[in-house]
Structure 1
Amino acid sequence: MTFRNTAGPIKHQAVAVRNGADLSTFYSCSFEGYQDTLYTHSMRQFYRECDIYGTVDFIFGNAAVVFQNCNLYPRLPSTGQFNAITAQGRTDPNQNTGTSIHNTTIKAADDLAPMIGTVKTYLGRPWKEYSRTVYLQCFMDSLINPSGWHDWSGDFALSTLYYAEYNNTGPGSNTSSRVNWIGYHVINATDAANFTVSNFLDGDSWLPQTGVPYSSGLI
């Protein structure tokens, strides 16, 4: 199933799907848009083997969400824009929310591929003060800017956010030139396990009933 917003890159926010349903699961779906494609608004969500296309903040919201075995395809944005894959919106450090991207492939969409050298693409930026996003065991192609992450506005949230990477591969996964923010971390397997389907979503208690395949832990 495909969810598509055809507004294009110059129409600013143009959501294809807004999801606020608890225990919601999308399997083998495609989400196509430009800015703000997929609004993972709230509650527990799981996406497996989905394709997601967009430009600015194209996965955003404040759900507790895991994307597993998915494909993320940054597209060509409007002139002067950069791509940010995520804009997570956690507003309180006590919220058990965040975006976990696991065993997922990040490659340029066809329209962006010839422009990788001039259009910058980042893993995310902090929409809210306690923004939390992790990339675990993903393949990152060369489109990812060496700094990895981008600020929202000056030093907003840079000391309160939690951004982390664990055991990613590919030419865009090198962390040696990443941002040096207080809130950015290269984590170990113990910390990464906090963001797996089993621990982050309590997925073993409800995903088997959906019939959707999943990996409960790290691979």
Structure 2
Amino acid sequence: MSRSARRVLLQSDDDGGEEGGDGMILTVAVDGSGNFTSIGEAIEFAPDNSEYRTIVVVRAGVYAENVEIPRNKPNIVLIGDGADVTIVTGNRSVADGWTTFRSATLAVSGDGFLARDITIQNTAGPEKHQAVALRMNADLVAMYRCAISGYQDTLYAHSFRQFYRECDISGTVDFIFGNAAAVFQACDIITRRPLPGQFTVVTAQSRDSPDQDTGISIHNCSIIPADDMAPSGKAIRSYLGRPWRAYSRTVVMESWIDGFVDPAGWTQWSAAEDDRKTLYYAEFDNYGPGSGTDSRVAWPGFHVMDYDEAYNFTVSYFITGDEWLASTSFPYEDGI
């Protein structure tokens, strides 16, 4: 990476338009002061199949566009001016005729994608059902200090190795889902009010074979209710996860679990499906009023882990993060 590109990645406060010796820096600004006025234009301009990072600095503003980063655009880096001021927004949904896969506001298929200080949101609302804000189906991808906001199916962690650090992720039902090997570290995972009569579920992991090395690892995070989940006349049942596929695997460790989470902790996809023996749901050393495990589901697939078991789901072991995260400049804890 060129010296100028690394400076932007570390500080995210330099002007764009530079071309380093081994990369490119582009600037997107809605007011026309950059190289482009839309993120999509910058992605299209970025070189195909580059082994170097293309830094796309996205200035403060609201970008109403659905952005696709295809497989032939690896090593794209999006850097905003702050998640509160740089916002990419869309509203595609299943109710309006899109598939879940194609509803994403930002869809990433290019390996090595990084993002920091930016919001990705889908504003379709809970009444529109599945409506993805971010779909990640690329390897060695990471996000830092971002907000990923939606309702049902907010973050589609589709496949490969993924890392999220100090991100705010919000939704209602199955709002972190897919079959990636994904670690969430020091994130706020925020449950929003669902439709009347619905319960809320944080995760819906879709591992469908015991041979797959995939799963969701929630480490040193806070699982909390949004303001609109304040107590009402009828309590809303909330769960940590449910199995989208038979070998679903999700762990929560060293995290704050607020009291809105149901004491059972986990729930089934449907009463007719018996995947309670084949799934792997586990907790380790959590704290907070919703963290007690005495009343958790009595399933063969639920576990209270010891240290050695929990270590299998750390950054260094689960996603081999010590081999690639240092080059991102993003902080991470490699163990527990």
Q: TM-score, structure 2 length as denominator?
A: 0.64
Task: Give the 3-state SS of the residue equivalent to 1:165 in structure 2.
Answer: strand
Alignment deviations for residues 39-73 of structure 1 (CA, whole Å, 9 cap, x no partner): 00000000000000100000000000000000011
Aligned partner of 2:334 among 196, 216, 219: 216
Aligned pair count? 218
What one-letter code is carried by the residue in structure 2 that aligns with 1:173?
S
Q: Distance in 2 between matches of 1:192 and 1:14?
A: 32
Q: Which residue of 1 aligns with 2:54?
A: none
Q: Which residue of 2 aligns with 1:186?
A: 304
* Distance change >3 Å, CA 43–CA 96, structure 1 → 2: same
Q: Distance in 1 between matches of 2:168 and 2:274?
A: 31
Residue 175 of structure 2 is aligned to residue 58 of structure 1: yes
Aligned partner of 2:319 among 201, 205, 213: 201
What one-letter code is carried by the residue in structure 1 that aligns with 2:162?
Q
Aligned partner of 2:291 among 159, 173, 177: 173
Is residue 116–residue 143 contact of structure 1 (8 Å, CA) maintained in 2?
Answer: no
What one-letter code is carried by the residue in structure 2 that aligns with 1:216?
D
Q: Distance in 2 between matches of 1:47 and 1:65?
A: 8
Task: Give the 3-state SS of the residue equivalent to 1:198 in structure 2.
Answer: helix
Q: Quick one: higher RCO (CA 8 Å, sep 6+), 1 or 2?
A: 1
Q: Distance in 2 between matches of 1:159 and 1:8?
A: 34
Task: Give the 3-state SS of the residue equivalent to 1:107 in structure 2.
Answer: strand
Moved more, 72-81 or 150-159: 150-159
What one-letter code is carried by the residue in structure 2 that aligns with 1:196?
T
Q: Distance in 2 between matches of 1:156 and 1:123?
A: 18
Following superposition, which runs of at least 4 residues in structure 1 exceed 3 angstroms of deviation? none
Shift of 1:156: 2.7
In the alignment, structure 2 segments of 5+ residues that lack a partner are 1-117
Shift of 1:114: 2.7
Task: Provide the aligned C-alpha RMSD in A.
Answer: 1.0
Residue 200 of structure 2 is aligned to residue 83 of structure 1: yes
Structure with bigger gyration radius: 2
Q: Which residue of 2 aligns with 1:126?
A: 243
Q: Distance in 1 between matches of 2:329 and 2:237?
A: 38
Q: Which residue of 2 aligns with 1:113?
A: 230
Q: TM-score, structure 1 length as denominator?
A: 0.98
Is residue 45–residue 66 contact of structure 1 (8 Å, CA) maintained in 2?
Answer: yes
In the alignment, structure 1 segments of 5+ residues that lack a partner are none
Aligned partner of 1:158 among 276, 286, 293: 276
Task: Give the 3-state SS of the residue equivalent to 1:134 in structure 2.
Answer: strand
Q: Which residue of 2 aligns with 1:41?
A: 158
Q: Which residue of 2 aligns with 1:98?
A: 215
Q: Which residue of 2 aligns with 1:13?
A: 130
Q: Distance in 2 between matches of 1:23 and 1:77?
A: 32
Q: Which residue of 2 aligns with 1:4?
A: 121
Shift of 1:116: 9.3
Moved more, 154-163 or 4-13: 154-163
Q: Distance in 2 between matches of 1:116 and 1:3?
A: 32
What one-letter code is carried by the residue in structure 2 that aligns with 1:141?
D
* Distance change >3 Å, CA 26–CA 11, structure 1 → 2: same
Q: Which residue of 2 aligns with 1:28?
A: 145
Q: State the percentage of identical aligned residues.
A: 57
